[in-house]
Structure 1
């Protein structure tokens, strides 16, 4: 199965003092998470009970559909199920009542279904490294894993305690408020040479290019109406010339717009900048695209028709993994773990310097 690996250097994982800048967590690090989370997950009745979202949290639910930890290496895989409308005119769903680890997926939904997409994350704690494993029909929502783990610690872990005034605090010892908070901070691995090359060419940049890919999401009665999509339809309809407005071609054009699954927009604008501004744009782009944004930003220099896309600096590896596609079945966490482990040396080559036994620098998000 074809996959795309994206790399993240984990800078903080655990509970840290709110004021001090300690590098080591007070508690709640990898080992604590693996032990506490796996024990908690075993006690959950079904998929529907694995959401870690608190009563005050907004947004869609995220569930854990599978989890695997390898004791010999310490590495682990978390498979999340992200509640969302679906893409490419297909609705994928898991039953709310199915057991954790059950990979059966449906292409329709009912009242007991959770419509969404899976996402796969492979952690290598000894290297402070996280891999996002992009597979066919999986979500590229990179924030989901940060949101899920953070919400688990904040809402469901044994570290959550309440004082006599009813205020919440976090501690690994009863009755002692350690003035700390959970933090999961990572950096995305990027090719710094490509960015430096663009910064050096800042004075020669003449155009900024923005490419936006918008996907039409399938939904059902339980989801909000796609108001944004309808506004786009209206805007496209206004593009039809007056002389076509009443004929059959106009109707065919409108029908094609309404039935399209995806739309792509490319906007090109004159642009001048210096090295300071281009650095600011690059840093902002890195932060915003942590969530797998569909927006692409690029630049053209004077006298060149080639677009330099910022996304090209993000280190990714496309690789065939030994994962068989089985109808109506998602790859399990164990299968993903084995497939990554078998090719781990090859997968880590883009970010691992074998001679110095050190990781390449990652850009802070």
Structure 2
């Protein structure tokens, strides 16, 4: 069965060891980051690849599979986000299966098989040579790049072995992790940071310049709370007194739209797009930001760079990191050229052949 994966492109803003207020990293670049993570997850059961305390309150995220191409140095990472929501199909991955092993099962109310972690996969293609990350969203998977960033940073800070890692204990019993510069007499402290942001159209492009010149208004749509303990801003509460737009009885929220005259520069326009673009905004979702040109509204997500891959889904419902990584590598140059708007779908077979 052929399924489509929607690809969103991210620029790596930070990756490595940073001193306070420094923008220049010292060690643990993108390639080393995932080399260290690969060594840490190797041979571990799925349940043991959670890099933070399961009682921390953070969403649980595990490493299902990871593959590094010897030819390109690219990494294909499959994370497993624990999820019991009924929104979409839920899959179960065996909690004792080692990284890269074990089939998944589809959720049923009377499941009585091996212990599994219910959730969905998250697919990320990491390209160290381009300082870029690509999320790949299939129908059966999810995207949560904030969680992806947190997982990577926690692996380096909390779990992997590194000769320059320093572990200290405060008087209150808390553990403080830092890194040193590795010199004999040095004791400079560094913190590992990992940060990515969606890639959008370049400020200097003709597309961005033309859009900036045609904008008359900026539009912001938001869902606001109208619960009895009203802590809304005063200007928001004014809408309650306008005839015919009172909220429905027992409603806890209402949708508002603010439209403001504006003439942003291309640089300001790019900043707005980068701030409000989302990789997985649902079609028809109200909360959004857009631009009015007088005759149409253009939403910010239109200007994120994207592509699509059509993949031959195996019967086992598992896309392994090596299969997806090699399939992408078979048309790597094509996939390294993201597009605006509707992207061209490139079909690849499980074996890496193309059509």
Please report the TM-score for the alignment, with normalisation by the length of structure 2: 0.71
Shift of 1:119: 0.9
> Does 1:151 pair with 2:154?
yes
The corresponding residue for 1:314 is 304
Contact preservation (8 Å) 2:208, 2:266: no
1:298 and 2:290 matched: yes
Deviation (angstroms), 1:266: 11
1:2 aligned onto 2:4: yes
Indicate yes or no: 2:137 matched with 1:128. Answer: no
Residues 167 and 177, structure 2, Cα contact 8 Å, conserved in 1: yes
Matches within 5 A, 1:91-102: 91-102=90-101
Question: Matches of 1:311 and 1:100 in 2, distance apart?
Answer: 34
Distance in 1 between residues matched to 2:95 and 2:268, nearest whole Å: 44
- Contact 2:94–2:102 at 8 Å: present in 1 too? no
Q: Is the 8 A contact 2:90 2:120 kept in 1?
A: no
How far the C-alpha of 1:15 sits from its partner, in A, is 0.9
Give distance in 1, aligned partners of 2:116 and 2:208: 44
Task: Provide Cα deviations, 1:60-105, integer angstroms capped at 9, x if missing partner.
Answer: 1110000001223211111000112345453222121222212522
Pick aligned residue for 1:177 from 177, 180, 187: 187
Task: Give the match for residue 327 of structure 2.
Answer: 339
Report the Cα distance in structure 1 between the residues aligned to 2:15 and 2:129, rounded to whole angstroms. Answer: 12
2:118 equivalent to 1:115 = yes
Q: Tell me what 1:188 maps to.
A: 198
* Structure 1 equivalent of residue 261 of structure 2: 273
SS at match of 1:292: coil
SS in 2 for 1:158: coil
Q: What SS does the corresponding residue of 1:349 show, helix, strand or coil?
A: coil
Question: Which structure's relative contact order is higher, taking Cα pairs within 8 Å and 6+ residues apart?
Answer: 1
Q: Deviation per CA, 1:277-333: give whole Å up to 9, x if none.
A: 99768635533545634444333333x2x321111000111232xx32233422000
TM-score normalized by structure 1?
0.69
What SS class does the counterpart of residue 80 from structure 2 fall into? strand
Residues of 1 paired with 2:188 and 2:43: CA distance?
A: 28
CA–CA distance in structure 2, aligned partners of residues 38 and 95 of structure 1: 19
Contact 2:92 2:118 in 1 (8 A): yes
Following the alignment from structure 2 to structure 1, what is the Cα–Cα distance between the partners of residues 183 and 55?
25
8 Å CA contact 1:66–1:332 kept in 2: the answer is yes
Contact (CA 8 Å) 1:69, 1:75: kept in 2 or not? yes
**Contact persistence 1:86–1:92 (CA under 8 A):** no
**RMSD after superposition:** 3.4
The answer on 1:37 being equivalent to 2:37 is yes
Q: Give the whole-Å Cα distance in 1 for the aligned partners of 2:316 and 2:166.
A: 42
**Equivalent residue runs for 1:160-309 within 5 Å:** 160-163=165-168, 167-171=176-180, 173=182, 177-192=187-202, 193=205, 194-202=207-215, 204-205=216-217, 208=219, 210=221, 269=257, 271-276=259-264, 283=271, 286-289=274-277, 292-294=280-282, 295-302=287-294, 304=295, 306-309=296-299
Alignment correspondent of 1:77: 76
User: Which structure is higher in helix share?
Assistant: 1
What is the rounded CA distance, in whole Å, between the counterparts of 2:11 and 2:73 in structure 1? 17
Provide closer, same or farther for how the CA distance between residues 94 and 268 of structure 1 changes in structure 2, counting only shifts above 3 A: same
- Structure 1 distance, partners of 2:124, 2:214, is 36
* Unpaired runs of at least 5, structure 1: 213-234, 240-264, 352-365
Q: Tell me: CA distance 1:21–1:286, structure 2 relative to 1, closer, same or farther (3 Å).
A: closer
User: Secondary structure of the equivalent of 1:271?
Assistant: strand
Partner of 1:16: 18
TM-fit CA distance, 1:201: 2.9
